[in-house]
Amino acid sequence: MLYSVRMRAAQGGPHEAGGRHISGAERIAGAGDLAALATEMLTRALAHSRGRADFINITVEAINAENVRRVPLLPVTTVAVPDVAAGREAAVAQLIKAGVAPAAARQGLAALLGLADSMRGAMLVCAESGRRLDNKALRGVRVSRMDAADPAGLTAFLSRRGLNNAHVREALVLAAKVAAAPGVVAELCWSDDPEYTAGYVASSQGYYRFPYLKPYGSPVGGRVFFVAPGCDQAALIEYLERQPVLVTAPEEESE
Ligand code: WAQ
Ligand code: MG
Ligand code: MG
Ligand code: MG
């Protein structure tokens, strides 16, 4: 039996009562791993660099193993930019290469820069017009029910590239699910953890990391999913929130 395990933590009460988002996590695990996973999530929420949570919700739900989809990990490229300004320029260029209209790419970036504090999920933005499409305000769309198909294999894959940290690991899994979504053209993301300045642009072409997309110390991060005009938004949100996905890493020669 497989279970979806999700955590969300906030400060000043629950998110839905106006609490400030501190941390979230989503995993898929077998019964034998649930206790350790819940402990790990609690520890993360209580010791987060965004502040101490006073509301923590952990949800465990069985998922139907027959309904699980497998999607491939995206190829990873690190683009060595010297600073935040160069990182944002390069990210916009990458969004355009992935098929986002130039003005829409800039509007998506501006939408992230205009946030006063972090959202819990992602904005849906039209890849053609740059208009925000979802009406979910600060909640946004939270992608859930995804994990690595082979956690140890993903660790080995990341270690060989010097990238084995939780931010990269979770972002690669999320980006693989999102890039495989019906109607998603590309994603732009940077972390809301004040000490983590890196972000990425992902699409079916790959995952492009930029070491600087925001200044050190900023607690404002977020995600934009650029979607094709005419995309079925209800079907997209259903897939992002509910479709169980396991992300498979390519098999590699051992070194
Ligand atoms: N679904 C939708 N949006 C999410 C989710 C999710 N499951 N998790 C986080 N977000 C949004 C939300 O607005 C957060 O405020 C924001 O993204 C940042 O989340 O290659 O760590 O978990 O070095 O802080 C990217 C670079 C790290 C990794 C991203 O995001 C690398 C990161 P965080
Ligand atoms: Mg988080
Ligand atoms: Mg995260
Ligand atoms: Mg964070």
Give this complex's ipTM: 0.97
Distance between CA atoms of 220 and 57, rounded to whole angstroms?
Answer: 22
- Probe target for ligand 1 pocket from 157, 164, 167, 224, with the most ligand atoms within 8 Å of CB: 167
- Probe target for ligand 1 pocket from 44, 124, 190, with the most ligand atoms within 8 Å of CB: 190
Q: Are residues 43 and 85 in the same domain?
A: no
Q: Which of 119, 105, 73 is nearest to 223 (CA)?
A: 119
Q: Which residues contact 38 (CB under 8 A, 6 or more apart)?
A: 5, 58, 60
> Does 80 fall in a domain?
yes
Q: Are residues 44 and 80 in the same domain?
A: no
Where among 11, 46, 67 does a domain terminate? 67
Q: Are residues 244 and 157 in the same domain?
A: yes
> Does 151 fall in a domain?
yes
> Does 254 fall in a domain?
no
Q: Are residues 15 and 92 in the same domain?
A: no
Mean pLDDT of 225-235: 96
Residue with CA at minimum distance from ligand 1 atom 29: 191
- How many Å lie between the centroid of ligand 3 and the Cα of residue 255? 30
Q: Are residues 83 and 63 in the same domain?
A: no
Q: Are residues 40 and 103 in the same domain?
A: no
Fill in the DSSP letter of residue 132.
B
Q: What is the pLDDT of residues 175-219, one digit of tens each?
A: 999 999 999 999 999 999 999 999 999 999 999 999 999 999 999
Q: Are residues 233 and 169 in the same domain?
A: yes
Fill in the DSSP letter of residue 221.
-
User: What count of Cα atoms within 13 Å lies in the side-chain half-sphere of residue 34?
Assistant: 14
Q: What is the pLDDT of residues 84-117, one digit of tens each?
A: 999 999 999 999 999 999 999 999 999 999 999 8
Domain that holds residue 33: 2-67
Q: Are residues 78 and 57 in the same domain?
A: no
